Structure 1
Amino acid sequence: MLIAAVLPAESAPQRVVSMNLCTDQIAMLLAAEGQLISVSDLAADPRMSSMADKAAAYQENHGRAEEIYLMRPDLVIAGQFTQGPTVQMLRRLGIRVEVFPPAESIESIRKEIRHMGALLGREKAAEALLADFDEGLETTASKTRRGRAALYYANGFTSGRNTLAGTILDAAGYDNVAGDFGIDDTSALPMELIVMSQPDRVITGSKWPGQSRSEAILDHPALKKLSFGIAEATDRDWVCGTPYILRAIGDLQ
């Protein structure tokens, strides 16, 4: 006991690399100056990242083990669906890699902010960020129900209540049509069922440049005849479980 008492606490990592869009943003929100040295290339894409302007200040990586190893990190932060071989190779090279699952609920967002704060030795910063997030949620989340809404994406997919998009929809005061068909996660939903359910609002993802056949279903005239028509969602605020979902919630209102 006496020996343990005099051992120094594990020092915070000084050269941190994030290789996942969502961990990029939480790390940028919490890291001390100079502590985070690289984020993924997606973090600088304004179509995908809510912090694209801030990401420009960091060296970008493309999730390749060779490039990350040469940065001499003492901590690498990855997402659950990050390239498995990259994570395995970095660990074989003796580099610490921490993996974050996607945050699909308010509570999981709060948990991951605290986890990131602990990894970076930035617990106080994490608690301050959480306080701001909780205050914003109290102000932004709807206190009344606004009707029924359907989330509808390319290839006819929808998101249920156990997804980040479903969480945003619920916080904005909408009942999710996906629940009428027993869909809790992400699944295909025939357009005919969307139309027959007569939602008050249909929310889709932003369209990307080019001619994608998967997105053609979103232009179907049957969808456009629904009560409020189609509202385009801002993808970058919906992609990751970060405090920026407050903007997505506010936009729906």
Structure 2
Amino acid sequence: MVPATGRSILACGPVSRRLSGALLAVTLTVAAAVSHAAPPQRVVSMNLCTDQLAMMLAAPGQLISVSDIASDPMISPMHVEAAAYPFNFGGAEEIYLLDPDLVLAGVYSDPAVVSMLRRLGIDVAQIDIVTGLDEVADRLREVGALLGREAEAQAEIARFEAGMAMFSHAQTGPRAAFYYPNGYSLGTGTLSHDILTTAGFRHIAEEMGRNTSGRLALELLVTASPDLVIGTGTYPGSSRSEEILRHPALEALVSAGRGHVSGADWVCGTPRVLTALADLRAARRAMEVE
């Protein structure tokens, strides 16, 4: 409120200066407290990709649980490291009982679980997927900040960028396609597309104008006649979704050219994609000398 004199209280000589100084001190104290907030001490990850980022960056004892699928060698390149942590199955009750002060989840993690944990007063950070190699450093930086491990994240980023410098990004090599169970094929707006083209291959999805992922008729794949067909490993047992992978036309296409399995290093946008890039580059060079 402004006094009758028309002068603000903060303009009243010595009193004003003392009050202003006190307010400044409080402001600086609060800002310092926020910027130096203690990092979380009990972190739980409930997503395969945040599992990997957390295992790379967390301080000893800081990460107390990772998702159960982190132990699956088919999709987790850090399944050996994951064995050192208790597993969770992504349930709200079991995670709550772990008494975490931070939960790392994905943007597509079960929304009911995420909502319940937040209603229970638990901090949940949802990390977005990576759709291009240029986003890997962003995710490292984001999770590093959440864990209070910025220096460790920056070190990982430096190593990753040094590794990326080894690839020419020339898309002049053989033509390749992705083909998975149920005839699912990847489009251009994906991390796998970026890995493929950075390793020097041409992706037939660009020729077809397929910007998004989805089912691709086997006839179209055979007609496109790619030099390389990239598939995935299969689990023991049988699945109707995998029957198309045993179709004679696809088997003939693969045997006429080459087949390549996209392993666990392809799944998440972490520095482990460098292994996928190196494997693809080796495959490309072998094809080019034949």
Residue matched to 1:250: 278
- Partner amino acid for 2:257? F
1:89 matched residue in structure 2 = 116
| TM norm structure 1 | 0.95
User: Counterparts of 1:213 and 1:190 in 2: how far apart (Å)?
Assistant: 16
Q: What's the offset of the Cα at 1:185? A: 2.2
Alignment of 1:3 onto 2:26: yes
Question: How far off its partner does 1:28 sit?
Answer: 0.4
Aligned-partner Cα distance in 2 for 1:141–1:22: 26
* Candidates 218, 232, 241, aligned match of 2:269: 241
The answer to whether the 8 A contact 1:43-1:52 is kept is: yes
Q: 1:141·1:249 contact (CA, 8 Å) conserved in 2?
A: no
Q: How many residue pairs are counted as aligned between the two chains?
A: 252
Q: Which moved more, 1:121-130 or 1:159-168?
A: 159-168
Scaled by the length of structure 2, what TM-score is found?
0.83
Identity %: 47
Max Rg structure: 2
The unaligned stretches of length 5 or more in structure 1 are none
Quick one: distance in 1 between partners of 2:114 and 2:250? 43
Q: Which residue number in structure 2 is paired with residue 128 of structure 1?
A: 155
* More divergent stretch after superposition (215-224 vs 196-205): 215-224
In the alignment, does 2:229 pair up with 1:206? no
2:171·2:202 contact (CA, 8 Å) conserved in 1?
Answer: no
2:165 match: secondary structure: helix
- In the TM superposition, what are the counterparts of 1:1-253 in structure 2 within 5 Å? 1-7=24-30, 8=33, 9-140=36-167, 142-143=169-170, 145-226=172-253, 227-234=256-263, 236-253=264-281
- SS state at 2:185 partner: strand
CA–CA distance in 1 between the matches of 2:92 and 2:163? 38
User: Quick one: which amino acid aligns to residue 3 of structure 1?
Assistant: V
Structure 1 residues 129 and 13, CA gap change in structure 2 (3 angstroms): same
What is the rounded CA distance, in whole Å, between the counterparts of 2:144 and 2:97 in structure 1? 25
Amino acid at match of 1:56: A
Cα distance 1:47–1:141, how it changes in 2: closer, same or farther (>3 A)?
farther
Unaligned runs of 5+ in 2: 1-23, 282-290
Distance in 1, Cα, partners of 2:277 & 2:199? 5
Cα distance in 2 between the residues matched to 1:141 and 1:77: 34
Q: CA deviation at 1:140?
A: 4.3
Alpha-carbon distance in structure 2 between the residues aligned to 1:173 and 1:219: 28
Alpha-carbon distance between aligned partners in 2 of 1:228 and 1:151, rounded to the nearest angstrom: 14
CA-to-aligned-CA distance 1:3-35 (integer Å, 9 cap, x gap): 232232221111110100000000100001111
CA RMSD of aligned residues (A): 1.4
- 1:221, 1:62 → 2: CA distance? 39
Aligned residue type for 2:267: V
- Contact 2:170 2:197 (C-alpha < 8 Å) held by counterparts: no
AA matched with 1:231: H
**Contact 2:170/2:200 (CA < 8 Å) preserved in 1?**
yes
For 1:102 and 1:139, the matched residues in 2 are separated by 24
Q: Deviations over 1:226-248 (max 9, x none)?
A: 341322222x1111111111111
